[in-house]
Chains A and B, each alone.
Chain A
């Protein structure tokens, strides 16, 4: 059974810092991995999707990397801003493109002025 862990559970940083969020998964037979953010009281917003054959994806100040063999992904946020404050979730889709995403429990990020 796939298990997805995100560390740390919560993180507080001053504005302007670069930071890394971690996601690890136990079964490396994944099809893809997706990073989301969730604002309080809101749904999930997709940030980046990395397919199993890819090493990284970039969008603006965000960079996500994937090391499938070691079961790890990182989300790098450059020059953090207070608007980046949210919960960040990673989710893996099983190999073969199955239907069920397995989510981590998230990292709650607070960027302070």
Chain B
């Protein structure tokens, strides 16, 4: 597709279960970001991938969160042993590059996670 694609669009899970969220960036985009948006809160940076470089994981809130990007394209965000405070919208974004010429960042529709 033409835009950033995320799945699932909605996920309800029980506390303690693991979840995987998938992001398919725009074709050709080397930079990929994960953000989290909690109810009534601003967007919180989680992790960033740029090409084959080591990811910037500095925004991950705990070791229950991890992400990988295979083949420089699709990314998966994994949350282990989910807790209720993990309930949020997880937004993926991509851009042609990072910094450099200041490229526009394009977001997906988000994965709405509810932990019950």
Q: How many residues of chain B have a CB within 8 Å of chain A?
A: 26
A99-B56, A100-B48, A103-B43 are known contacts. Are A46 and B98 too (CB-CB below 8 A)? no
Task: Flag if A96 contacts B99 (CB, 8 Å).
Answer: yes
Task: Flag if B99 contacts A93 (CB, 8 Å).
Answer: yes
Task: Flag if A46 contacts B105 (CB, 8 Å).
Answer: yes
Q: How many residues of chain A have a CB within 8 Å of chain B?
A: 27
Task: Flag if A97 contacts B109 (CB, 8 Å).
Answer: no
**CB within 8 A of A42: which of B59, B98, B106, B109?**
B109
Residue of B nearest to A6 (CB): B42
Task: Flag if B41 contacts A105 (CB, 8 Å).
Answer: yes
Task: Flag if B42 contacts A45 (CB, 8 Å).
Answer: no
Q: Which residues of A contact B59 (CB under 8 A)?
A: 100
B108, CB-defined interface residue at 8 Å:
yes
Q: Which residues of B contact A77 (CB under 8 A)?
A: none
Task: Flag if A31 contacts B99 (CB, 8 Å).
Answer: yes
A43-B108, A43-B110 are known contacts. Are A97 and B33 too (CB-CB below 8 A)? no
Task: Flag if B41 contacts A97 (CB, 8 Å).
Answer: no
| Shortest beta-carbon distance from A107 to chain B in Å | 12
Residue of B nearest to A47 (CB): B104
Query: CB within 8 Å of A: which of B56-106?
Result: 56, 58-59, 91, 93, 98-100, 102, 104-106
Convert B45-60 into 0s and 1s, putting 1 for each residue whose CB lies closer than 8 angstroms to a CB of A: 1001010000010110
Residue of B nearest to A4 (CB): B42
A49, CB-defined interface residue at 8 Å:
yes
Residue of B nearest to A50 (CB): B102
**CB within 8 A of B43: which of A42, A89, A97?**
A89
Q: Which residues of B contact A46 (CB under 8 A)?
A: 104-107
Task: Flag if B42 contacts A106 (CB, 8 Å).
Answer: yes
Q: Can you spell out 7 A-B residue pairs with CB atoms less than 8 angstroms apart? A: A44-B93, A45-B107, A89-B43, A93-B102, A98-B99, A99-B99, A100-B58
Point out residues on B near A: beta carbons under 8 Å: 4, 6, 33, 41-43, 45, 48, 50, 56, 58-59, 91, 93, 98-100, 102, 104-110, 112
